[in-house]
Structure formats: structure tokens, C-alpha cells
Structure 1
């Protein structure tokens, strides 16, 4: 899967990339009431313009991307000075309020996410095959503190075989994957596009640890 993803970027097969900010981000992010200075984690971020939208609203953004080409293109298409450094196994580029960590999301650990308080997923869950999605949902939960809020945009395919990525992820699977660690609510189901994909918009809040019952109960 990792090699396939890199090959897509090398060959320019990035039909999943949007040339505009996602309207669901503009519509539903404000409803989360995330503090403007909260750092936002964006897994499998590509070169998404959504990261610049978040940064323009004051959020420090931490994007994680496997393909070096995506990171290079994001920086080249942006403006401002770029600083580069290494953090563990990740090569990091910083431009303005956006940090791009180039490497495997599953190698990103909680000690590297100490300042993260929110997340945004438009193309991470749906980029992963079914066998990996549970691992992704669990790992994401481990990186986020109780109360962290996020926006997830999933896809369902109305007809035809699922030859992703992007993969079709039904609503019941989203609930099964995330409900153990998140309070989640489906906010919208958008009309199918020309490929038969319908986007579903979810808001999530990381559950806190269970409290011990008071003595005597």
C-alpha cells in the first residue's frame, strides 16, 4: 500500500486532490468551537489546501504525509520561508503555521503529538483498505487527549465495485471504528458525485478516561 501511494504521487495520479477548500470544512469546522490557537492534526494530508484554510484561522497545523512529492509540492505552491529539520524518523518542513511531517502515520507517537488538540480527516480513512482502518482509528485515538474535537469526511459508493483508494466506508463501519473512543455524530450526507461517491460529514469528540466510582458506591 505504501509503495502504491508513493507511485500515485510520482506519476501524478492524484485525482483525490481538491483544487479548492472543501466546503464541508468551511461549513462544519466552526461548529466544533475549536480554539483558534489549538494545533490540528491532519493525517495522510497530501498537499491539501484545507491545511492552509485552517492555518489562516490561527491554527498551528501538523500534517503527516508518506509521499515526499506531496510535501515538496505543498511547499512549492505556498509562500514564505521554509525551515527543515528531522524529528525521529520524520523529515519535517515548516512553512508559516503548517508543519508537514514526511513519514508513516503509524510511526507517529503520542510524545510527538503532545500539543495536538484537534484533528481533520478528509482523505485518510478512505485511503486505507479495510484491514488497516481499525488500526488507523485506534492509533488516532491514542494520539488525542480527552475532549479533542475533529471533523471526518468519509465516502460511500452507491454502486459498482470498490476499487479504491478512495475506498467506500459505510456509516455503520465509521460508527464501529470510532464509537469506542469518540462521541460521534453524522452531520450531513452529500449528493453523489459523477463517480457515484457520496460524502458523509462527521463530527467527533475524544472520550475521556472513565472515572473511578466514589467510595461507598
Structure 2
């Protein structure tokens, strides 16, 4: 999966990238009331959703394996990008967006001290089934109790992936141990047979 992901970015095979902010993010994010929280965006690519979140007053921390994606995000943005390093992660910062280049599973709680919310449009569905459980558990370790997030999954019968089809039952099985889930909507099925499902998640546990 790692090599395939890097090859997709190198070859420009990024049909999953949206050229506009996701409408479900604009529709549902304000209801989460995450005013000013630092937003974790796993497997972020060069998503324009990060710029929208930053425009709402959020510091944004995206994690992306493909350096090409980060370089494109910066090149397509405005203003200079500051580059620095923390541990094994090279980091680009442009405006209110930090982009960490590396493996999401190597990003640990020590890095996430200021994280207060998360957004996942393309992370869960990029991972094969055995890795999705690991992802859900790792995400829970990074998100403090009481924090909220928005998850957008995809469903399609007999999909081989990536992207992978992750239906309601699997979303609930993966996240219910550590999150309270609210199913917000299912979108219309597109011309390729994909249907989006949108979820609000709240991290379980005592709030400090």
C-alpha cells in the first residue's frame, strides 16, 4: 500500500483529490463547536479542506506520507512555507497549516499534545481491512476525551480499492469502543457506484 500510494502521487493518479471544499465539511463542521481547536487530518494529501478549516480559525496539522502531495499543497497556496523538523518528521508550515511528512502510525501522543479535534475524509478508506482497526485504535490514542471529529466514509458493493468500501457496520465496529458515533447522512450514489456516509465522532472518556 505504501509504495502504491507514493506511485499514485508521483504519477499524478490522484482522482481522489477534490478541487473544492467538501460540502459535508462546510455543512456539519460548525455543529461540532470545535472553536479554535487544533485539527488533526490523517493521510491529508493536498486537501483544500485543510485551508477551509484554517480559514475558520483552526490550527491544522496534516500528516501525509507522500512528500509530493505536501509540496503541491504548498506550491498551490499563498505565502512562503517554513520548513523544520521534529524527530523523524520533516514539517512544512504555511499560514495556519502544518504538514508532517511521514507514517501516521509513527505519529505519537507526544507529537499531539495540542490536538483537540480531527477530520478524516480519505484516511480510513485508503487503508486495507486489516489496517483499519489499527488506524481506529491509533487515532483514539491521539484524540483527548471529549474531543470531536468528522469522518466521511465510502460505500460501494464489491469494491476492491483503494479507495475501499467501509460500510456502516464496520464504521461502528471500529470506532464504538472509543468514540460516540452519530450518523449524519448518506449521500447520493455517484456515477461510479460510490456512496458517501458522514459521521460525527466524540472521543469517550472523562474530560479533564
**Which TM-score band (shorter chain)?**
over 0.9
CA distance in structure 1 between the partners assigned to 2:90 and 2:124 by the alignment: 23
1:121-177 deviations in Å (ceiling 9; x for gaps): 0000000000100000000000010011000000010x3x32211100010000000
- TM-score (normalizing by structure 2): 0.98
Q: Deviations over 1:161-217 (max 9, x none)?
A: 32211100010000000000000010000011111000000000000149xxxxxxx
Residue of structure 2 aligned with 1:193, choices 190, 198, 206: 190
User: Which residue in 1 is equivalent to 2:127?
Assistant: 128
Larger Rg: 1
Which residue number corresponds to residue 2 of structure 2? 2
Q: In the alignment, what sits opposite 1:87?
A: 86
- Structure-2 separation of matches of 1:100 and 1:70: 10
Paired residue for 2:174?
177
Q: Is the 8 A contact 2:146 2:206 kept in 1?
A: no
Q: Structure 1 CA distance, aligned partners of 2:190 and 2:82?
A: 39
Distance 2:183 2:99 in 1: 29
Identify unmatched segments of 5+ residues in structure 1: 211-217
Question: What does residue 148 of structure 2 align with?
Answer: 149
Provide the alpha-carbon RMSD of the alignment: 0.9
Q: Deviations over 1:61-120 (max 9, x none)?
A: 000000010000000000012100111111100000000000000000000000000000
